[in-house]
Structure 1
């Protein structure tokens, strides 16, 4: 028997290959999906079923592509928003054999209306579930968000509560196989580890400590979550079936002269924040490779053309992978060599960085033409904020930059300076010339105040 977790960095997406008796199933595959077929073949397994826990909002499903490659049947839950054209509908108590293993369907709405969990049983020991694929209903240390139906927020929070009771009824021995780990935009309270049991979660998961249904609903509707614009694109593609991932997961490399001639919507610099701040092409925005999954969907729209700027070829390839997984992959080319370009006299822009002492000095002054702009999320801001600072979440600058005065000085801050660099790069690309970054940001402020 085989149960293998396949993790997608950046998205913190977890998918699974389950096999027994020469057959295999895939749960929640990602768009670049050859990995599932390769692993199944290496284990001597034929993929016969593909199970989707729900219509994902944060990545493109690879289910239609895996089905095309293998002839496997795709199973998806009852969907109130329309038919998932590439899938058959699975319902409560449906049971599917994968060799000696059985996958039993639980309807678990709440995170989404179509959400399913899949309980895994060994037919040789059928009394208790071995594990359960919980999708986005239950994570290690957290439970799913319920903000996708704002007009029905109490109802869907209550439905998630009921679904969690159904999952917990499988027994404390069942291993939890969630669809995301820590770092995902689908939950902020996930534990760093990716292994647990229902018994451990029952004892330690903060949301499962709330035994009263009404109290659980209140807690869920008070949560703060952000929905990048690309979520709508993911939802649509995961109804229609998105195009397969490109066969070559690397942009074509362009020379400096070619880069100058590219007529693209965005030049995206994927280098580290310090490198971007030190020198970047005019008009470029900063999206470090590790932050593409979280923030590209705020600043890049469907179909927008992109040129990538990186430190090396591996960085270009990693950036392309992240973009492909969220279908923002209209990449015209990739360029490596900012420092040699500067040596050739290519014009560059830089964004200054300032320290805690300078921030404190400016706060003590009148500040009539200066704003300390905090771009952290609302929960971070509520837990600790610097007096006199203002707040706009980094993603919301995609539109709210237009509210700001280009003649004013802005210092961007977050928790460490990473998101502040993304925000500063965005404002810089929009013609804000009096922008700098608080290096260390809230972490440095707290350290300096000890």
Structure 2
């Protein structure tokens, strides 16, 4: 008997391989799905079932691809916003056997209308559920977001309230297996820990402490969440089925000349922010490797041709993996060698860094041509803000940069300077010449205070 978690870094996506009696099931597989086949084969298991908890918004499902590789059947809950063409519908009360294990379906709408959870029972010990795959309904330390139906926001929050109670009714002993961990865009309050039980969550999860339905609904509808444009692409692909991931997850190597003459619509520098700020190719934007899953979907359009710039071939490979998982993978090549390019006389751009004393000085003098631009999210901004600063969330600069005057001076800030450099790189690529970044940002501001 086997239950193994497969984590996808960056997206903090959690999928699972469950096996018994020579059979195996995969829950919420990712697009590059050969890993499930290999792990099942190594355990002497045949994948016969693939279960989706809901139509994902933040990554391409690997379910149709894995089904083609293995011959397994795909199961998806009812009430999807359209037909999931590659899946059979499974409903409340359905039971699927994997050896001596039983997977019982619970309809748990709220995060999405088609959301289901899968309770695991051992037929030799049938009284209580062993565990439950909770998808995006219940996380460790948080619950699912309910902002995907803005015209029905109170209704879906109420549905989630009922769904959470249904999950809790499985009993305190049930181990929870969520579809995401901390760092995912699907929740902001998740614990770093990726293991828990229904009982522990019932006693400690702040959202499960809210016993009054109306209070729970009010809390959910007043949350701040962002929906990057690529969510619409994920929703479409996860109805019709996405294509298999490229077999080689490494961009074609490019020379500096090839990079300069290629037809890429966007050059993405995936190096660390300080390296990018110190010197980067004109027109390139900065999306550090670890920030690609969270922010590429704001700044890269569907089908847009991309060229990647990195410090190493391994960095290029990791960047491509992240992009493939969200189907922004029209990558024409990758270049390594910014420092040699500068040494050869290639024109470079840079973005200065400034500290707290300089920010304080400018705030006191209040120059008319300068703005301190805070690109943190709304919750961070609400918790603490620097008086005199202006707020635009970093992702929303994909369009709101048009509201800014490129003749003005801007200092970009966030919590540390990481997102601020991403924002500065976007503005730099769009003709803003008078930029700097507050190094340390709110962290440095708090320390100085």
TM-score (norm 1): 0.99
* Mean Cα deviation higher: 429-438 or 255-264: 255-264
User: Aligned residue for 1:260?
Assistant: 260
**Aligned 1:147-226 pairs, distance under 5 A:** 147-226=147-226
Give the superposition deviation at 1:367: 1.8
Task: Please give the per-residue CA displacement for 1:355-406, whole angstroms capped at 9, x wherever unaligned.
Answer: 0000001001032000000000000000000000000000000000000001
What secondary structure does 1:74 align onto?
strand
5+ residue gaps, structure 1, are none
Give the superposition deviation at 1:219: 0.4
Give the superposition deviation at 1:263: 1.3
What secondary structure does 1:220 align onto?
helix
What secondary structure does 1:217 align onto?
helix
Q: Do structure 1's residue 426 and structure 2's residue 422 form an aligned pair?
A: no
**Aligned 1:228-307 pairs, distance under 5 A:** 228-307=228-307
What secondary structure does 2:183 align onto?
coil
Q: Give the distance between the partners of 1:373 and 1:257, measured in 2 at CA.
A: 36
Q: Do structure 1's residue 120 and structure 2's residue 92 form an aligned pair?
A: no
Contact 2:55 2:80 in 1 (8 A): no
User: Aligned residue for 2:358?
Assistant: 358
5+ residue gaps, structure 2, are none
User: Aligned residue for 1:412?
Assistant: 412
What secondary structure does 1:445 align onto?
helix
User: Aligned residue for 1:26?
Assistant: 26
Contact 2:145 2:186 in 1 (8 A): yes
Q: Give the distance between the partners of 2:320 and 2:149, measured in 1 at CA.
A: 32
Give the superposition deviation at 1:324: 0.2
What secondary structure does 1:357 align onto?
helix
Q: Give the distance between the partners of 1:425 and 1:105, measured in 2 at CA.
A: 47
Aligned residue pairs, count:
449
User: Aligned residue for 2:395?
Assistant: 395
Contact 2:119 2:131 in 1 (8 A): yes
Q: What is the Cα-based RMSD across aligned positions, in Å?
A: 0.4
User: Aligned residue for 1:312?
Assistant: 312
Give the superposition deviation at 1:81: 1.2
What secondary structure does 1:277 align onto?
helix
Task: Please give the per-residue CA displacement for 1:326-377, whole angstroms capped at 9, x wherever unaligned.
Answer: 0000000000000001010011000000000000010010320000000000
Q: Give the distance between the partners of 2:80 and 2:204, measured in 1 at CA.
A: 33
The runs of at least 4 consecutive aligned structure 1 residues that moved more than 4 Å come to none
Q: Do structure 1's residue 55 and structure 2's residue 50 form an aligned pair?
A: no
Give the superposition deviation at 1:40: 0.2
Give the superposition deviation at 1:80: 3.8
Contact 2:285 2:425 in 1 (8 A): yes
Q: Give the distance between the partners of 2:330 and 2:400, measured in 1 at CA.
A: 25
Q: Give the distance between the partners of 1:80 and 1:357, measured in 2 at CA.
A: 54
Task: Please give the per-residue CA displacement for 1:160-198, whole angstroms capped at 9, x wherever unaligned.
Answer: 000000000000000000000000000000000000000
What secondary structure does 1:138 align onto?
coil
Q: Give the distance between the partners of 2:224 and 2:406, measured in 1 at CA.
A: 30
